[in-house]
Structure 1
């Protein structure tokens, strides 16, 4: 953990559920992204990325036994910031519902050089953790369904313990392997 670590908690809403294939048919929203507030985005993204209205990020997602790593886009479409990308296809994402939680752990003012860890917490599969998060956030910490936590602030240590940062061995991408004879020395 370093003094640049932040954790953003998003209480999922019905409009966020379009990102999950298991919910796509039942949701009225066409949105395939998780909404982020401007204060959360200003803490999460490097100012140059904010000026550019978005960028691509190495995103490591975990939920239950599923771990997914792919490039996801954070951008501003219209007035709202969103974390989007391809739909999550695994059936386990059907356990999520509105008022469950998405947690983003990153470094402050990420310029795309550090991965973002995205973790989901569901009432169905993480009952006690979800209840603890709900209790922790019941005192008004959520502003427009988003709460921000930085090192030294109330609640950060408890969240950091439950949701550790991306391990160094995972955070560093291996060099892309090329086929013999194609860009590799003989």
Structure 2
């Protein structure tokens, strides 16, 4: 990713856990998505995509040994914004729980031309990193379970060092995989 970036930190809730096949049977929520606030969606999405209530994005999901890359939808349902798609089906996601974290790294105002990196941080698998995130967010950064860090904000550099950007060789999709802008 080139240019400015932002990292959206989402403290996972019980309703977010439906995204993971390992939690699907135990969760009351059947949504396969991570909830976003309107404020986060406005920063993440290009104004045309935001006004069109969503679009499709090349999304790279990482957690431990699991890596998933597919087109995922960021959209506004009846009242909430969500980053959704097919279930993430890998046993490693069993280690995630509510109050763990999802980090969404992207260029601001993404129109679908740049991939989104979605990294998960769990208490069981990343104890020190998770504790550091909790400490970083303890001063009230989280609003409705979401915090937004751009390059001008304190804390972005530390998050950026822990969760590097998508390498150029991964970020660029072969032309056959390019998807059109969908609003």
Partner SS state of residue 88, structure 1 = coil
Count the aligned residue pairs.
Answer: 177
Partner SS state of residue 129, structure 2 = helix
Q: Take 1:139 and 1:41, find their aligned partners in 2: how far apart are those partners? A: 22
Normalized against structure 2, the TM-score is what? 0.94
1:175 CA displacement: 3.6
Aligned pairs (5 A) from 1:8-87: 8-87=8-87
1:31 CA displacement: 1.3
1:174 CA displacement: 2.1
5+ residue gaps, structure 1: 178-186
- Counterpart of 2:133 in structure 1 is 133
1:139 CA displacement: 0.7
Residues 27 and 98 (structure 1 numbering): CA distance in 2 closer, same or farther, change over 3 Å? same
- Counterpart of 1:152 in structure 2 is 152
5+ residue gaps, structure 2: 178-183
Q: Take 2:175 and 2:32, find their aligned partners in 1: how far apart are those partners? A: 30
1:24 CA displacement: 0.5
Partner SS state of residue 176, structure 1 = helix
1:30 CA displacement: 1.5
1:176 CA displacement: 3.3
1:3 CA displacement: 5.0
Normalized against structure 1, the TM-score is what? 0.93
- 1:84-119 CA deviation, whole Å, 9 max, x = no partner? 000001011000000000000000000000000000
